[in-house]
């Protein structure tokens, strides 16, 4: 293990120090981005990232790489649009090619009700300057000839929300790019360092305990996915989240066939084709809560059934791998970011199935909060206290699939 740490291509290994100005818990895209912007935007160099496993082992390496900003609420749309803008120049900013490709995103509507939701999303999006509009079967077929827009499928396609800037990016490259640059700026990255306790004095968080020793810290920022309730509890904070698994899979690579990213909320599926030619596909979160990382055969069966109805040519593609990830779902299906009732303990959690696409703007805003103590306007609506103030941000209708 130590050999692996020493030889990592993108960052150096360090002994754990007794004290840091800030400690970020979670070595995924959110944690790495937060550490990077603490160093880059705010000059904080005495920063550590602790990760219980390898870098990018959690949701950052298990998502289906979709980037978009066509959300339903103004708060969500504004926030994700800021993320898309950062993604556009991320490869240049981090000097690391992440293969970002904005080839367009189609969310299909198969019922009058979902056509209405798409109309509402398009209105909200356009008012906020996001390119998004409702289109109908002739144009859908033109944009994506592989789709069956006839009345043969059980749920024929009535319309779609078309979001031209939607795209995909190489997910693990995002983690590595941030890690590489954070390391260059002096941030210490500590994989295989599990948080076992969080110390509090007079209500203030003063540090963490890990399997490699104790650390004191001016600020502790929790950027974990799947484990945020457990980490919150270590600090004495209850985070209103249930954890579910999400499954995805990938086929063998074939020649370029699919032009767009396609999502169907009614059928609970989404698909894109990677630059390598694989179809990357996923479904909704499992309805039960859990932490298992075993995929199920039922997932493959249901997914294949719906996919082949929409895209008949997929019937001949062979699935190579499937995997699962953990999704933290909040009561209003929107994330939770910001201060907690423990001074010095900040939280970034509750990302459901759309955390990866928020990574750059999460990093930027959480770093600003960590460094200055001021909550940026973009994340103020997502504060933890909203659940006690009756100020929910309902994002359910903008989700790719079940939420
Ligand atoms: O919100 O775009 C999304 C998404 C894709 C896969 C799961 N969620």
Q: Mention every residue, 6+ apart, whose C-beta is less than 8 A from residue 221.
A: 22, 23, 24, 25, 31, 34, 346, 347, 348, 366, 370
Could you tell me if the CB of 270 is within 6 A of ligand 1? yes
Could you tell me if the CB of 68 is within 6 A of ligand 1? yes
Residue of 81, 264, 282 with the most ligand 1 atoms within 8 Å of its CB, for mutation: 282
Could you tell me if the CB of 161 is within 6 A of ligand 1? no
Protein residue closest via CA to atom 4 of ligand 1: 400
Q: Give the whole-angstrom CA distance, residue 37 versus residue 22.
A: 12
**Burial of 363 from C-beta contacts in 10 A (0-12 / 13-18 / 19+):** buried
Identify whether the C-beta of residue 366 lies closer than 8 Å to the C-beta of residue 49. Answer: no
pTM of the model: 0.96
Identify whether the C-beta of residue 63 lies closer than 8 Å to the C-beta of residue 356. Answer: yes
CATH architecture group of domain 101-163+247-329: 2-Layer Sandwich (3.30)
Could you tell me if the CB of 66 is within 6 A of ligand 1? yes
**117 CA to middle of ligand 1, Å?**
17
Could you tell me if the CB of 70 is within 6 A of ligand 1? no
Could you tell me if the CB of 114 is within 6 A of ligand 1? no
Domain with CATH 3.30.9.10 in the chain: 101-163+247-329
Name the nearest CA neighbour of 260 among 222, 310, 304, 185: 310
Phi, psi for residue 214 in degrees, rounded to 5: -90, 150
**232 CA to middle of ligand 1, Å?**
25
Identify whether the C-beta of residue 267 lies closer than 8 Å to the C-beta of residue 231. Answer: no
pLDDT confidence of residue 232: 97
Could you tell me if the CB of 353 is within 6 A of ligand 1? yes
Residue of 80, 249, 353, 397 with the most ligand 1 atoms within 8 Å of its CB, for mutation: 353
Q: Give the whole-angstrom CA distance, residue 333 versus residue 355.
A: 11
Which atom of ligand 1 is nearest to 352's Cα? 8
Phi, psi for residue 163 in degrees, rounded to 5: -125, 85
**191 CA to middle of ligand 1, Å?**
27
Could you tell me if the CB of 399 is within 6 A of ligand 1? yes
Could you tell me if the CB of 282 is within 6 A of ligand 1? yes
Could you tell me if the CB of 27 is within 6 A of ligand 1? no
**32 CA to middle of ligand 1, Å?**
21
**269 CA to middle of ligand 1, Å?**
9
Beta strands in 151-275 (DSSP E): 159-163, 167-168, 188-190, 195-201, 204-210, 213-222, 242-251, 261-264, 269-273
Residue of 63, 286, 323, 324 with the most ligand 1 atoms within 8 Å of its CB, for mutation: 63
Fold of 2-62+172-242+331-398: FAD/NAD(P)-binding domain (3.50.50)
Give the 3-state secondary structure percentages of the chain, helix then strand then coil, rounded to 5.
Answer: 35, 25, 40
Residue of 279, 357, 359, 398 with the most ligand 1 atoms within 8 Å of its CB, for mutation: 357
Per-residue pLDDT of the chain (403 residues; tens, 9 = 90+): 444 445 678 999 999 999 999 999 999 999 999 999 999 999 999 999 999 999 999 999 999 999 999 999 999 999 999 999 999 999 999 999 999 999 999 999 999 999 999 999 999 999 999 999 999 999 999 999 999 999 999 999 999 999 999 999 999 999 999 999 999 999 999 999 999 999 999 999 999 999 999 999 999 999 999 999 999 999 999 999 999 999 999 999 999 999 999 999 888 899 999 999 999 999 989 888 888 888 999 999 999 999 999 999 999 999 999 999 999 999 999 999 999 999 999 999 999 999 999 999 999 999 999 999 999 999 999 999 999 998 999 887 665 454 3
Residue of 60, 63, 65, 66 with the most ligand 1 atoms within 8 Å of its CB, for mutation: 66
CB atoms within 10 A of CB 225: 27
Could you tell me if the CB of 400 is within 6 A of ligand 1? yes
Protein residue closest via CA to atom 3 of ligand 1: 400
pLDDT confidence of residue 399: 57
Distance in Å from the first CA to the final CA of the chain: 38
Which atom of ligand 1 is nearest to 282's Cα? 6
pLDDT confidence of residue 2: 47
- The radius of gyration of the chain's CA atoms, rounded to the nearest angstrom, is 21
């Amino acid at each position: 293990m130590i050999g692996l740490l020493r030889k990592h291509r993108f960052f150096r290994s360090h002994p754990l120090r007794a004290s840091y100005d800030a400690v970020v818990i979670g070595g995924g895209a959110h944690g790495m981005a937060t550490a990077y912007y603490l160093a880059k935007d705010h000059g904080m160099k005495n920063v550590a990232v602790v990760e219980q496993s390898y870098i990018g082992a959690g949701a950052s390496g298990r998502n289906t790489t979709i980037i978009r900003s066509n959300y339903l609420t103004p708060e969500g749309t504004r926030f994700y649009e800021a993320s898309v803008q950062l993604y556009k120049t991320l490869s240049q900013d981090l000097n690391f090619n992440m293969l970002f490709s904005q080839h367009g995103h189609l969310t299909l509507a198969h019922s009058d009700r979902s056509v209405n939701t798409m109309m509402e999303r398009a209105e909200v999006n356009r008012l906020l300057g996001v390119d998004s509009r409702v289109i109908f079967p002739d144009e859908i077929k033109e944009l994506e000839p592989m789709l069956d827009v006839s009345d043969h499928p059980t749920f024929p396609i009535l319309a779609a929300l078309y979001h031209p800037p939607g795209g995909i990016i190489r997910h693990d490259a995002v983690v590595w790019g941030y890690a590489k640059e954070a390391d260059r700026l002096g941030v210490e990255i500590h994989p295989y360092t599990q948080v076992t306790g969080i110390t509090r004095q007079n209500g203030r968080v003063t540090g963490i305990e890990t399997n490699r020793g104790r650390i004191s810290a001016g600020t502790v920022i929790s950027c974990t996915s799947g484990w945020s309730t457990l980490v919150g509890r270590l600090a004495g904070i209850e985070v209103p989240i249930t954890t579910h698994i999400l499954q995805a899979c990938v086929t063998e690579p074939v020649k370029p066939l699919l032009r767009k990213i396609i999502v169907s909320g009614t059928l609970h599926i989404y698909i894109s084709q990677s630059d390598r030619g694989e179809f990357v596909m996923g479904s909704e979160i499992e309805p039960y809560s859990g932490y298992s990382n075993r995929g199920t055969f039922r997932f493959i069966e249901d997914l294949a059934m719906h996919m082949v109805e929409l895209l008949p040519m997929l019937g001949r593609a062979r699935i190579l791998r499937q995997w699962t990830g953990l999704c933290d779902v909040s009561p209003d299906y929107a994330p939770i970011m910001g201060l907690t009732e423990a001074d010095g303990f900040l939280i970034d959690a509750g990302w459901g199935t759309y955390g990866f696409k928020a990574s750059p703007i999460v990093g930027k805003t959480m770093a600003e909060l960590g460094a200055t103590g001021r909550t940026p306007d973009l994340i103020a609506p997502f504060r933890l206290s909203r659940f006690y103030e009756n100020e929910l941000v309902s994002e359910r209708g903008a989700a790719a699939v079940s939420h």
